[in-house]
Amino acid sequence: MVFSKLFFVYLFLPLCLAVYAAARGTEHKNTVLIIFSLIFYAWGEPVYVVLMLLSAAVNYAAGLGIGRYRGRAAEKLFSVGAVVFDLLMLGIFKYSGFIAENINAVFSLQLPVPDIRLPIGISFYTFQTISYVIDVSWEEVEPQRRFKNFLMYVSMFPQLVAGPIVRYSTIEREIEDRHVSAEDVRYGLNRTILGLSKKVLLANQLSTVADSFLAMPEKASAAGVWLGAAVYAMQIYFDFSGYSDIAIGLGGLFGFHFDENFRHPFMCRDITEFWQRWHISLGTFFRDYLLYVPIFGKRRKYGGLLLVWLCTGIWHGASWNFVIWGLYYGAFVLFEMLIGKKNIKKIPVYLRHLYSKPVIIVGFAIFYYEDLSKLGSFFRTAFGMGGHGLITLQDRITLSNSCFLLAAALVCCFPLLDIIGAAGKKASAVRYISAALAAPAAAALLILSSLMLVDATTNPFLYFRF
């Protein structure tokens, strides 16, 4: 099931909220959430519900085993076994075809290439279960004694299929003891509508513009591919941050408080800061569970960094462009690490923006092209070797037709709500006006998004495929 569907917005979600509100006590509310979450997942992946249930059962048992055999050899057996199981499941369903293709190419073999449909959300819920097992092993959290509660953590539909990656420690207390206040409801509804609007009004519309510039880079102009990559960067941002907004908003409606996953990443001044603002749950996962893992007997600073960025790329997809994309960003993070934070801060801010934005735009072009031959065409065209000039008439027409959309998207990359909130703290009039306009603005966005969805066929979130 997709959040950006009228069926979800006007039937599934209201019905779930109504039944949830009618349920008495946290125990029954958890049951409601589990039932609706399994229906939500089974709507598009009926077979793979079994896979998710198996993953939940294995990691639940591993957590209990770690707690029971604390300090003994069996503890490591349970923790390592669960992580290996999780990675094998992810590898089989997500990477087996890619691995077989490359073995055939390198060794001139004809091994059968598995054609396995990727279970939606497997990368997200697998990383959640891995973080749980490791945190239990590190004694950061206590093992969950009830399978029902653990299943709810794994299957919770607001963040099940496209994140953010929610740590068990984040919602550990709220699983058994939570309350929904009027403020939670207000904030949750507004945040959910905001996320839906990002997806429907911005990301879906930007995708058409980005594709028109990037689909055939060998026939495009230099300005066209640069514009296309910049538009695609905004499309990805509004698509994924929109999903994260919906997840955080829905979590609030049920009494859960998820961590932020995006903090206006295009406001960054360097690449390190960009990754501190972009897909925060993934970045902190790799930082906490991989960066400081001893390699070949002891912690190796640069080896750990290489491993993190290699895994960041691979996590996003079974294609070489994602590997290149991860190592590309890793190289710039290493470059900035070698310069040092203090030295980077001495560089004028405008120069840091002039350096970071082209790097980010090129990064999203690498992300866009799974076909490496087209990626090569992009680079040739972008750097004036494509033979189609600086800008074409068609580029001008596309730019003219989408100028208002692009202007709106660019403005929305800025922290507008934070700016209004800061102004409200200084001037009570601004605070009262913004509070009075919040509900009408949310209603208007919901109506506009609904109208855009009436004739829409399919508009899945891009991160469903990861």
Catalytic member of 264, 279, 316, 353: 316
Asked if 316 is an active-site residue, the reply is: yes
| CA neighbor of 3 nearest in space, from 465, 463, 461 | 461
Which string of DSSP letters, residue by residue, matches 438-463? HHHHHHHHHHHHHHHHHS------GG
Residues 6+ apart with CB under 8 A from 108: none
Sequence-distant (≥ 6) Cβ neighbours of residue 158 within 8 angstroms: 246, 247, 248, 250, 251, 254, 256, 258
User: Cβ contacts of residue 450 below 8 Å, gap of 6+?
Assistant: 6, 9, 10
Q: Say how many C-beta atoms besides its own lie within 10 A of residue 243's C-beta.
A: 29
| Residue 17 contacts residue 189 (beta carbons within 8 Å) | no
Rg (Cα) of the chain, in Å, rounded?
23
Rounded to whole angstroms, the Cα distance separating 95 from 118 reads 9
Q: Where are the alpha helices (DSSP H) in 262-348?
A: 271-277, 280-286, 301-316, 320-339, 341-346
| E strand spans, 124-244 | none
Token pair, residue 420, equals: 């209004």
Amino acid at 153: Y
Under 8 Å between Cβ of 395 and 226:
no
Task: Please check whether residue 431 is in contact with residue 424, taking contact to mean a CB–CB distance below 8 angstroms.
Answer: yes
**Residue 217, amino acid:** P
Active site residues: 316
